[in-house]
Structure 1
């Protein structure tokens, strides 16, 4: 059994030093790295590839698939080599490839300067279930082992959008927990039951229907954060309607979590109270996480009392954006709203010292 550590007895300088440490958040890797096919090692080809690669990075970072058409971004793309951190060449199957790594801080500065959305790299892991109904074979579950090319294309698109996805293995456990009929019906209870072994933050369910020899239709359902989003797609192939499902899911999640800064944004302090801080290790990990939040510009320790710590989070984001970001950390459990109401019926604003955001660290 762990012995609780009374954090209030620690030197304040040490506590502030810990608060400044980077967080150990679950993040999407390689947002700033791309590979471009090039015809030669020449400067002209490298310059063109750097511009194409930088546009792909901005798509991932902003969550906006059409960001390349934004006129404000064009001057940045024309000077793409300024943002290249490193590059190297590689040849595979007689094709020359250029591996490019871009400077994250420089790109973040441009996102802020151009007032573009910033999708933090701590993103919802999404479990994707799909069923198909073809004219020749009827209805079945889409399995990776049966359609390896399709799943490879979907995985590549997810990487391009910066969306972490996972596909069920469809073994006997998955078949029992997610029968074909419930998958086709897009049963949300079945999705919750079948997803337990994978622990996703979001679930995407798709049913793909071949309506004629060259026409396809798909119905998609994205389940995340207690909400459901339904959308449709149509196209000339199964691959096309499947790709549109991944794209639309990325759009929806980016719209929810992307933070947009502008010249009129005002910094504000939100008070957060965190219980369950039973040891110095808990304190260190929680402090790191809060300091690293993309929607937070600074985190200042206010007080420690027993297993509770209070922190002032400085942010220019809306309170809902901050709460959405906090909801992605499974170690944080939102607590019941206990804001006091005085005799006149007044309740202090949520996030104030009198009515802080309350979470439990688990």
Structure 2
């Protein structure tokens, strides 16, 4: 009888699952490289660069490039090609598409994993302090080199990142001081118009000569994705590359959490605990949400008590893919635990 009630509730409730703002990144197995000619030597170098970029988009793992299997694949890059060609607009480009099964096997041989093509949409508030200590928040249409390099790095990494418009709506609400001081209430409020999954705050400034840092410029950054939070620092001699360095660091952190391992084709079981399930209705809703996630074969309720339920998920994928989908669901709040498998249900009115 209880199972019958659950099935009936699934039919009634199924259409009310929250929409996800995450972006499905396409063309992960192809890339194009700017070239100056169609010579054989330049073609080989461009194909190698295209394969490196493809591996970086798929794994978010720079260390994979040093693996002997990848180094050999770069020398024999044509073996992984499906097709290539040249494209002409204002520049000449070489476009290459690689064989997905072979590339996946190469990544497995290199001991890494593949980051799902469903990736969080991020909004970056980038504030730059110049040599005169004047600060400026960068807009999406800025022609500053640091912005152009940041946007290029985001495309290269397959990371959906945008800067704010900084139109009247933004500038009437948020100031340079708000961004520099990381006043999150204000930043979160003004960010809602962009519907991001996560918010990056990056600050660029000169390093302290007495700190013993060789590089002249530094950027510190924080990334908030739901209840998850990362932070870090990058340095460089030229401040214009720091936007790209922040994107690279953020990608490394996200890919580390969400990369799908080489054993993702086997059946896995993963236990998830969800708090704040106050009644049967919310418990059923949570089970339905878990069942709707990609590659889930079965969801079993193992126990319930004190408004907390424990589910076992049977899946034909890596838990990292499921974890990413849950983190982006807007209705399950990840809790900071060692298991990375505990969440809190968010009641949406």
TM-score scaled by length of structure 1: 0.69
Task: Tell me what 1:129 maps to.
Answer: 125
Give yes or no for the alignment of 1:161 onto 2:162: no
Matched-pair contact (CA < 8 Å) for 1:84–1:102:
yes
Distance 1:47 1:79 in 2: 10
Distance 1:61 1:220 in 2: 23
Matched-pair contact (CA < 8 Å) for 1:34–1:99:
yes
What is the SS of the residue equivalent to 1:66? helix
Task: Tell me what 1:176 maps to.
Answer: 172
Q: Deviations over 1:168-212 (max 9, x none)?
A: 101222223322211111122223222211121221111212469
Stretches of structure 2 lacking an aligned partner (at least 5 in a row): 1-5, 9-20, 210-214, 275-282, 302-310
Distance 1:34 1:111 in 2: 17
Q: Deviations over 1:215-256 (max 9, x none)?
A: 323221221231332322332222122222111111111111
Distance 2:87 2:92 in 1: 6
Task: Tell me what 1:327 maps to.
Answer: 326
Distance 1:108 1:360, change over 3 A: farther
**CA apart distance, 1:167:** 0.8
The Cα RMSD (Å) is 4.2
Q: How does 1:283-322 map to 2 (within 5 A)?
A: 289-291=293-295, 299=297, 313-315=314-316, 317-318=318-319, 321=320
Matched-pair contact (CA < 8 Å) for 2:146–2:244:
no
Matched-pair contact (CA < 8 Å) for 1:270–1:315:
no
**CA apart distance, 1:131:** 1.4
Farther off after superposition, 124-133 or 112-121: 112-121
Farther off after superposition, 52-61 or 39-48: 39-48
Q: How does 1:135-146 map to 2 (within 5 A)?
A: 135-136=131-132, 138-146=134-142
Distance 1:195 1:65, change over 3 A: same
Q: How many residues align?
A: 308
Task: Tell me what 2:62 maps to.
Answer: 65
Matched-pair contact (CA < 8 Å) for 1:201–1:328:
no
Q: How does 1:181-196 map to 2 (within 5 A)?
A: 181-196=177-192
**CA apart distance, 1:7:** 6.9
Matched-pair contact (CA < 8 Å) for 2:127–2:180:
yes
Distance 1:252 1:350 in 2: 15
Task: Tell me what 1:32 maps to.
Answer: 29
Task: Tell me what 1:257 maps to.
Answer: 258
Matched-pair contact (CA < 8 Å) for 2:197–2:328:
no
Distance 1:76 1:229 in 2: 33
Give yes or no for the alignment of 1:203 onto 2:199: yes
**CA apart distance, 1:158:** 0.7
Give yes or no for the alignment of 1:152 onto 2:148: yes
Task: Tell me what 2:235 maps to.
Answer: 234
Distance 2:202 2:340 in 1: 38
Matched-pair contact (CA < 8 Å) for 2:127–2:138:
yes
Matched-pair contact (CA < 8 Å) for 1:32–1:57:
yes
Task: Tell me what 1:84 maps to.
Answer: 81
Q: RCO higher in 1 or 2 (8 Å CA, sep ≥ 6)?
A: 1
